[in-house]
Amino acid sequence: MSTTMDTPSGTMETRISYSPGQLPLFWDRSVVFFANLLALFFGNKEAIKELAAQVGQIETYGGRLCPLINLLFRGPDNLLVLEREPDARLLKYFTDDLGLTIPDCIILPHKQYLQLPERLMDANRCLFGNDSTARIWQQIAEHPADWIDGFVTDAILMATATAFGKQTLVSTEASRLGNNKLLVHRFLQQQGFPVFDTYLAAAQSDIVEAAAELHAQGYRRIVVKSQIGASGIGMVTLDADRPDVHRVLDHWFFEGPCLVQGWLDEQVSGLRRLGSPSMQMFLDETSVNLYDVTEQILSAESVHQGNIAPPPYWQTMQEVQAPLREQSEAVGRWLHQHGYRGTASADFLVVQRDQRLDVILCEVNARVTGATYPAVLARHFCPGGAWLMRNLVFDPPVASEDLLDLLNRAGHLFLAGRSRGVLPINFNPGPCGKIRKGQFLCLGSDQDECLADLNQSAQLLPVAWDYDRD
């Protein structure tokens, strides 16, 4: 289904396009894109440490951008600034077997990214020095692209654009707003949409009081969320009657009060969880494009592990579609009105409470998200089909060449022109250089084909494997 309409947004009109399974026209411009994943927390250094400790080899995650950037930015000269060299064999697969183009890549470790403000105090040193970092910054400054973007637009990215005479797609304020759970919650509440029962806690002691209130309302568990979090960082579920508030870390209050919400699961009387859909969005200068609907694959603690599209219940529970679309359009307009531009995901929870169906928007992630990579690649190669993305971890690690050859020999490796197969998006090497973990996209005409290809491919592996977080 594809529909387009003009909708008022402030003093301007924002065009809303709803075309699940069909990609919009992305940016017709060139970009210098920073894989600044460790900037997700806007200066919250302790949150960065927490993410790095839990995920491991975080600097390798930027490699997922290699097959994506030239699809999102259709200009002739794109530059991708990574924190670590991507896997050369995987890049060859993207170009030779998939027919994709790869942007030019340079390596700038996060430590050197953080040094930019100091270096900009001495522009001569930054642009014309002889050290390797200065030469990298000079490449960026002299690159013909007029635009700079990243996972988020933090103060360093803004300073880079200003110093080098380039523009950012998004201001720091808009980027921060679009990832703030409290601001999204307040907007939804003002619009009269369903929201979670929520209290604010400025300190650990406030969490105890909020938990008692929620327990009295029938909740067995609560969830505490920092205003800005990612990949499970800044979120924890606790028992409502005896909350272990020491699990809520001090740096979670970096942006201000945490949200304390009732946790909706089958322990709540009369409630049944039905799904966790996610709407994929792209916002350009004049429009909000809703281009794919996925089901999130989540851990017991609601940490993202993968996606499947369309959601398994999409046709059998059509009453989900209208409220999901309505809220997605509303929050898309809200993001657009406040200046956000680029890709985003809106994540929902679908529950049945005493025969009433509720579709509740949990959060908005205004950035390239864990669902952006597979959604864009899947819809580029197989519009309207089904897809599944999972993270697989290997023990012991395996060589990338061996992984690709194994998939190819078995006939499971996705190739250009095919309608089915397994497409490795990125490899995360361990300290030994071999692949410890990877993100694998399965394409097919339906979900059964995707699941079959994933399971058959995994069973061929000569090492132990398991599913993992994103």
Residue at 19 is within a domain: no
Residue 412: give its domain's CATH number.
3.30.70.380
User: Nearest-CA neighbor of 370 among 304, 436, 282?
Assistant: 304
Residue at 375 is within a domain: no
Residue 278 and residue 230 share a domain? no
**Given 124, 147, 168, which residue is the final one in a domain?**
168
Number of domains within the chain: 4
Residue 336 and residue 289 share a domain? yes
Residue 116 and residue 34 share a domain? yes
**CA–CA gap between residue 151 and residue 36 (Å, rounded):** 6
What pTM, to 2 d.p., does this model score?
0.95
For residue 306, give its domain range: 271-365
Rounded to 5°, the CA angle 444-364-201 comes to 140
| Residue 207, CB-side half-sphere exposure with 13 Å CA sphere | 28
Residue at 355 is within a domain: yes
Residue 226 and residue 102 share a domain? no
Residues contacting residue 223 through CB under 8 Å, at least 6 positions apart: 235, 236, 237, 238, 260, 261, 262, 263, 302
Residue 394 and residue 360 share a domain? no
pLDDT at 125: 54
Residue 162 and residue 211 share a domain? no
Residue at 283 is within a domain: yes
pLDDT at 131: 75
Backbone angles phi, psi at 284, to 5 degrees: -105, -160
Residue at 173 is within a domain: no
pLDDT in tens, 66-98: 999 999 999 999 999 999 999 999 999 999 999
Q: Are strands 356-365 and 386-398 parallel, antiparallel or unpaired?
A: unpaired
Ranges under pLDDT 50 in the chain: 5-11
Alpha-carbon distances, residue 217 vs 208, 268, 391 (angstroms): 14, 10, 37
**CA–CA gap between residue 270 and residue 355 (Å, rounded):** 8
Residue 275 and residue 243 share a domain? no
pLDDT at 120: 74
Residue 409 and residue 357 share a domain? no
Residue 246 and residue 354 share a domain? no
pLDDT at 7: 45
Spell out where 285-355 has E strands.
Answer: 287-298, 304-309, 342-353
Residue 306 and residue 211 share a domain? no
User: Nearest-CA neighbor of 261 among 306, 288, 303, 224?
Assistant: 224
Edge-to-edge order in the sheet of strand 31-34: 104-107, 79-82, 31-34, 147-150, 167-168
Residue 227: give its domain's CATH number.
3.30.1490.20
**Given 126, 153, 168, which residue is the final one in a domain?**
168
Residue at 390 is within a domain: yes
Residue 321 and residue 206 share a domain? no
Residue 330: give its domain's CATH number.
3.30.470.20
Place of tokens 């900037």: 39
pLDDT at 1: 52
Q: Are strands 147-150 and 167-168 parallel, antiparallel or unpaired?
A: parallel
Residue at 207 is within a domain: yes
| Residue 201, CB-side half-sphere exposure with 13 Å CA sphere | 27
pLDDT at 441: 98
